[in-house]
A and B are shown apart, each in its own frame.
Chain A
Amino acid sequence: MNGHADGPDLSAYLDGALAPEPRARVELHMASCADCRAELDSLRHLKLALSAAPRRNMPADLALALERRFVTGAQPWYAALSRKRVWVPAGALAVAAMTVSLWLRSAATIEEIPLEPLLAAHARYSAEALVPEDNLVASNYSDQLSDLSDASESDLQ
């Protein structure tokens, strides 16, 4: 290294991508060169600001579109998320989209996602015909659930 540290070396140093020998050389040079320390500092701030970019996660509807296009068979792929196969009503798209969204946005492992209770509850409500099959839109669903709980409260009075 004649004069100052090589630019790409400074970037690689910042990224932890420099082999031990060139790294030692860069460190030795920086110990006595305020200019290179300042340049490294500037690059570090830039890297920090770049890495603060908001991440764009895959939209749930895109995940569903991919699933429809690339997965074999009629069974929805989200059913495969649960170990124990549970029956999923065909109209469960809204619930599935919610689940996909939760799942895509969390770093959690599959085991940590409370999918089974969700689907089981869904299956139970559908089986008991509390919710008409063709009406399983998320908002309707929760409206009807709250209607039902209101109704049962007034029944008790």
Chain B
Amino acid sequence: MDRMEPQAFADLLRQAGDKAYNFAYRLAGNEQDARDLVQEAFARALEHAGSYDPSRAFDSWLLKILHNIFLDGARRLAYRRTVSLDAPAPVEDSSWEDILPAKDISAADELIRRESIDMVQLALERLPAHYKAAVVLCDVEGLSYDDIARIMDVPVGTIRSRIHQGRLLARKAYEELERSGGRRQ
């Protein structure tokens, strides 16, 4: 099957569209590659619909396919810049106010916190792909260790250590960024 009924496709898109795009964007680090990843992931998912186990969540399955495509691309160095340490990382407008209402936070404190969040995001961009994927799925997507293990196709024990190592690496990168006093090195 490579084409679907409108209602079925709308359901898939609603369930998995944003998740897939956000994950793709985090992995690839830019919009064009994220779009290509998502398109290719949907294409392969529909092409291999026969191997989909309906007792599993479709979104996890799609993310797994997307992750595989990303890794294939990374192996071919197509996405070399995302694993490179001198990659230019996109700086996004994070809405700290939306997350923690600033009632008790002075403007200066808030600015510092906001800059910290931006720098943590930059640190995340700099992680090697395996760690970045695990940390994104855990901390950004809020998935369980079991789901992440399924998506990344490795044992849960490996996920445990990737998430922890990823956080330690992100913290180290963050401290380096802070020491250098700038957003870019």
Contacts and interface: CB of A to CB of B under 8 A. Distances in A.
Q: Do A and B come from one complex?
A: yes
A69 B167 CA distance: 39
A8 B39 contact: no
Contact of A76 (B6, B22, B35): B6
Nearest to A81: B10
Most chain B beta carbons < 10 A, residue from A58, A69, A76, A81: A58
Contacts of B13: 58, 63, 66-67, 104
Interface in A59-79: 59, 62-63, 65-67, 69-73, 75-79
Contact of A50 (B4, B95, B120): B120
B6 A56 contact: no
B19 to A, nearest CB: 9
Q: In terms of DSSP, what is the predominant structure of the interface of chain A? A: helix
A49 B22 contact: no
B128 interface: no
Interface stretch (B65-73, B79-87, B140-148, B177-185): B140-148
Interface residues of B, number: 52
Contact of A54 (B42, B95, B124): B95
A80 B7 contact: yes
Interface in A2-30: 7-8, 10-12, 15, 17
A112 B121 CA distance: 34
Given A7-B168, A72-B4, A51 B35 contact: no
Nearest to B95: A54
Interface residues of A, number: 42
A77 B161 CA distance: 42
B117 A104 contact: no
A55 B22 contact: yes
Given A71-B4, A72-B3, A77-B6, A53 B160 contact: no
Nearest to B170: A46
Given A15-B163, A71-B6, A71-B9, A50 B22 contact: no
Interface of A: 7-8, 10-12, 15, 17, 42-43, 46-47, 49-59, 62-63, 65-67, 69-73, 75-81, 103-104, 110
